[in-house]
A and B are shown apart, each in its own frame.
Chain A
């Protein structure tokens, strides 16, 4: 019972963190068809900007300024870089963002050094939100979860209830038609990219205070974020939420489960033989918990290639 509850709590908060970072990515891909390799770099930039502001002025101001600056950077990237490559197709856009990811990483190393920096939340936020089964649950994890939920609600309302959201959705489905109806589609794309980047920046600012802020942040989280987006369905916000929660929960539960093929075989009496063979048979689920998201992605791609909630197109 304790294991169930603790793992669920951990899984949900981790999943919400993943959602924060991947929401922008799936939005950008859904709207523009651009798989933004630099998305995790926006996350990292958000963390570093927030660190700089926190150490000079104020933590909360950092949470405010980081997404704005990263969003502006996103707009700049879209307007001056991506737009030029747009005519050549998606592969070129992908390559451009790939190159950008490298550039951002090296720039960060140039200004902040190779080692992790001490970006952490102010002391008054460092208290347990509640104590469950004798373990403290840090408030900041709950805070991250709340920010993530707030993000989802904001994005969802923006897209479904506002006029701008209507235009964005129209531009996503039929861009030429929307343009011929008089809407400024390039501006919409720029806004979407900027918003996606801003959300990644916010995620970085919030999560960077909890997880170590270092130049490898982008790589570390970047791969998982892609898995989330693929599993959830490219372009689907709800899918992204579901996928990130699933991955968070699966990874969290996997750590506590020492299941192995040998254990499975012991149900038919072959347990001892399997254990003596060793190798793959004695591999426990807990030791490959970090691989679980990728296994999930594999299964989803085999069964439903468009992702859990993606559209077949």
Chain B
């Protein structure tokens, strides 16, 4: 009896003591659903590291809504089924904002899951910030109010490349398009064909191939040689780009490559001299950055910002800017308010200004066209090569028109 009453007394004491802790501000939860294992790990980890860099910064300055922002990582294992799974888990964990970027296929899955979730759970919406998936359909027929894209798309990259290369006199009149056979690759092929008139070139041939399955690109090099182009435009990434360039170099074929992902880590190291003189269109080039951002990034993560990290930093910084303009007073977080604020947010970056287009939630970002050169200020991959800036195209000039297929329903 005595122990029971002591137990009761203790229980009451604890229960009385608890309420003081329970009323805490709702923390903003960000879920990074990324390819943290599998073949795209190297890219997935970069997205996660860059996002956390900015969140750590925001938390150092007081966090949001009275508490630090929580970041939870989910490994989608590089596939859409994994992503769908992890999304359900993220929702169960109370995540408000989902970040992802390493694949258009996965982004397609996540954006649909987010849209359906929001229809079924009004008042408990989830937002998806797309850091790197560039397929047009995500701001086209798959667009919805709670998806924001903070990266370029195929037309943005292709148009930037074509214009810059034409100005430099290195485009030529015969263009070959080789791409991977999925949403992104097809977008690149369409964009290359669409820019033919303004670029003043003829698309001599196009080819699509499987994603990251081809080990031997020499048959493709034979095809390219047959078509005799001046420039090869490709949206290939990882092995597909590397093997293609190496095979072209080995065969002694003289073409200029206009790529979108030449700056992926490891490409220059492996391609070496073969990469000299080729072009890339990307959202950021460290050579043009005179701010202290690169060194601050290096101090926090151990390496200079590279590949998709800068665009991720910009995306999360824009989110941070949007967060500054909403105030929930320590109460429940309404994602719809954050989304509305994000639509109006804008930040200044070392490459130029970034704003968000309200019609399809595509961020209007500057595009840099660079060329692989010898002995730059910032050599990459422990080689003596790097990316020299050819042209920086401001956001409003680089952006593509709103797609007719995007019919966005706005919350009231």
Q: Chain A residues in contact with chain B, CB under 8 A?
A: 2-3, 6-7, 10-11, 13-14, 17, 109, 114-118, 120, 128, 131, 134-138, 140-141, 211-212, 214-216, 219-221, 224, 248, 251-256, 286-291
Are A115 and B216 in contact, with the CB atoms below 8 A? no
For the complex, is B85 an interface residue (Cβ under 8 Å from A)?
Answer: no
**CB-defined contacts of A254 to chain B, threshold 8 Å:** 219
Are B218 and A256 in contact, with the CB atoms below 8 A? no
B270 interface neighbour in A7, A118, A131, A288, Cβ under 8 Å? A118
User: Per DSSP, are chain A's interface residues mostly helix, strand or loop, or mixed?
Assistant: helix
Are A211 and B250 in contact, with the CB atoms below 8 A? no
Pick the interface stretch among B3-11, B122-130, B203-211, B355-363: B203-211
Are A135 and B265 in contact, with the CB atoms below 8 A? no
Are B270 and A120 in contact, with the CB atoms below 8 A? yes
Are B223 and A135 in contact, with the CB atoms below 8 A? no
| 0 or 1 for each of B217-236: is its CB under 8 Å from A? (1 = yes) | 01111110110000000000
Pick the interface stretch among B38-46, B162-170, B192-200, B325-333: B38-46
B223 interface neighbour in A134, A219, A255, Cβ under 8 Å? A255
Are B222 and A219 in contact, with the CB atoms below 8 A? no
B222 interface neighbour in A10, A116, A220, Cβ under 8 Å? A10
Q: Chain B CB within 10 Å — which of A134, A214, A221, A255 has the most?
A: A255
Q: Known contacts A14-B216, A255-B223; is A117 also within 8 Å of B269 by CB?
A: yes
**Complex: how many Å from CA A211 to CA B216?**
9
For the complex, is B251 an interface residue (Cβ under 8 Å from A)?
Answer: yes
Are B222 and A3 in contact, with the CB atoms below 8 A? yes
Q: How far is the CB of A268 from chain B (nearest CB, A)?
A: 27
**Complex: how many Å from CA A255 to CA B219?**
6
**CB-defined contacts of A109 to chain B, threshold 8 Å:** 41
**CB-defined contacts of A287 to chain B, threshold 8 Å:** 181, 207-210
Are A10 and B216 in contact, with the CB atoms below 8 A? yes
Give 12 A-B contacts (CB < 8 Å), ordered by A residue. Answer: A7-B222, A14-B218, A116-B266, A116-B270, A118-B383, A135-B225, A141-B250, A212-B270, A256-B219, A256-B223, A287-B181, A290-B213
**CB-defined contacts of B207 to chain A, threshold 8 Å:** 286-287
Q: How far is the CB of A257 from chain B (nearest CB, A)?
A: 10
For the complex, is B402 an interface residue (Cβ under 8 Å from A)?
Answer: no
Are A138 and B181 in contact, with the CB atoms below 8 A? no
Are B210 and A288 in contact, with the CB atoms below 8 A? yes
**CB-defined contacts of B221 to chain A, threshold 8 Å:** 135
**Complex: how many Å from CA A13 to CA B217?**
12
Are B253 and A135 in contact, with the CB atoms below 8 A? yes
**Least CB separation from B208: chain A residue:** A287
**CB-defined contacts of B39 to chain A, threshold 8 Å:** 216, 219-220
**CB-defined contacts of A220 to chain B, threshold 8 Å:** 39, 212-213, 215, 239
**Least CB separation from B39: chain A residue:** A216
